[in-house]
Amino acid sequence: IQGDRHLAREARNYQAFPSHFFEHWNGYNLVYPLHDPTPCGALVPQFYGYYVPQGDSKPATTSDTAPLPQTAPSLPADYISPILLLENCGVPIEVDNLSDDDRDTCAAMYLLFLEGGWMQNSMAERNVVMQTGPLSEWPAFRGYDRPKYSFRLIDFGRA
């Protein structure tokens, strides 16, 4: 949405995250208050950059609190939006379809995110994505018929 600073805030947050949020690890974590070990892995997608178009196509406002329009905004024909380029980590989870281990893995990721000094401020199913994994494997070698999934937290514009 033109004039919304959510994307820029999210990019700043990705740049401020500690490096271990992006790193892939082998092994398991014990995360309090969970009692079972959960797989180690990156908490968030890889961040490749935030790209803002140069030239006359600029967002309508630069304030963090843009006024809400009364009707749906229409963008100028020449408007080019900024791009937040991230690793594709799959589709949003459906909690009811996850195994107990997968639920624990998602909970552990959020607890580790909190332990890292961050708060997501928009925790919902749509903000946890899953993909057959591990994501370190070549895509041709991971299929949806495999029982192992990789998870990531997303949407940090409110963090």
pLDDT digits (tens, 9 = 90+) for 36-83: 999 988 999 999 999 998 876 455 444 455 555 555 566 666 778 899
Predicted pLDDT of residue 44? 97
Residue 101 lies in a domain: yes
State the Cα–Cα distance between residues 126 and 136, nearest whole angstrom. 23
The chain-wide mean pLDDT, for the chain, equals 84
Helix (H) or strand (E) holding 153: strand 149-153
> Where in the sequence is the domain holding 87, given as residue range(s)?
6-153
Exposure string over 125-142, b if 16+ CB within 10 A, otherwise e: eebbbbbbbbbeeeeeeb
Predicted pLDDT of residue 18? 96
Count of positions (residues) in the chain? 159
DSSP characters for 87-149?
----EE--GGGS-HHHHHHHHHHHHHHHHTT---S--SGGGEEEEES-TTS-GGG--TTSS-E
- What pTM was computed for the model? 0.78
Residue 71 lies in a domain: yes
Q: To which residue do tokens 């271990």 refer?
A: 20
Residue 1 lies in a domain: no
Tokens of 64: 């963090």
Q: How many domains does the chain have?
A: 1
Predicted pLDDT of residue 62? 46
